[in-house]
Amino acid sequence: MNILLLGANGQVGHELLEPLRDLGEVTAATRDGRLVGGDACLRVDLADAESLRHALTQSNAQVIVNAAAYTAVDQAEDEPDQADAINHRALAIIGEWAARYAARVVHYSTDYVFDGKSEQPWREDDASAPLGVYGRSKLDGENALRASGAEHLILRTAWVYAARGKNFLRTMLRLAGERDELRVVNDQIGAPTPAHWIAEYTVAMLERMVQKPEQEREAAFGTYHLTASMRCSWFEFAEAIFEEAKAAGLLDRVPRVLPIATSEYPTPARRPAFSVLDNAKLARIFDLHMRPWREGLKEVIGQVASARSSGEIS
């Protein structure tokens, strides 16, 4: 099986690279043509239609895993065309190519397709109503892929973090060494989800898809929610990060964390207040059950501690 992995140096893409190699021949692609460790790979700019088409043809992909995205939520408000090119128009190209050559597409989307006004976990068929440019571009990308006719898995996730890269956990650990007190939003609710879990469950879905009878396999394509179970606020997540980091020896001291309202921390883009996604469809169709977010946090803190002790990350 030929697999094209787009965005191979991102949080999820980096975690996907090795597990996908158990399924077939992987062609990794990044915007600068380099992987995290510096090794060369295919160079692809999703904002450049010709670059993307060339990569699709060159890879001769049977499965396209799109872990690339424009994720600068606030910056997107000032760069709507760039966000749309990467999150929307590129998906139309990927879907069109995949439909033409009978390839399958795995694509990652986001809780930002919802307005966050529910009090119940969002299901896949709930009405979407993005609050800003980023969410609209991701929703348009979903719809473009669906309209292409390509067989696909759209996996919506949220609050993604990892031991590497730019994310909330890494920011909190850095700020813990710089400040005695932090103010963190306490009225946005979600489920922090480790990138390596997303990779693990994606590969499990692909493996189980192959094992299904043809009729069941065709019915299993579509949209799924894939996040850790349970829920917390950003404030509660920050407190848990410091607790686990202190226990792992990553912090000598823990800063005081103060809960604040979203209104006290204004940003250019509006965030959904309630980002908890319902994983029941994933369990029903694939018999895959997401674990509580605290388990994922322990694992990622362990990865950070191991990487620091070996000098891989600072």
State the number of CA atoms in the 13 A half-sphere of 14 facing the CB: 17
Please provide residue 257's backbone torsions phi and psi, each rounded to the nearest 5 degrees.
Answer: -115, 125
Cβ-contact 121, 276 below 8 angstroms: yes
| Sole residue written with tokens 């179970």 | 229
Active site residue 161: no
Please provide residue 35's backbone torsions phi and psi, each rounded to the nearest 5 degrees.
Answer: -85, 175
- CA atoms of 172 and 101, how far apart (whole Å): 45
Q: What is the DSSP string of 258-304?
A: EEE-GGGS--SS---SB--B--HHHHHHH---PPBHHHHHHHHHHHH
- CA atoms of 264 and 267, how far apart (whole Å): 10
Burial class of residue 120, CB neighbours in 10 A (0-12, 13-18, 19+): exposed
Cβ-contact 27, 56 below 8 angstroms: no
Q: Which of 70, 108, 112, 134 is catalytic?
A: 134
Catalytic residue annotation: 134
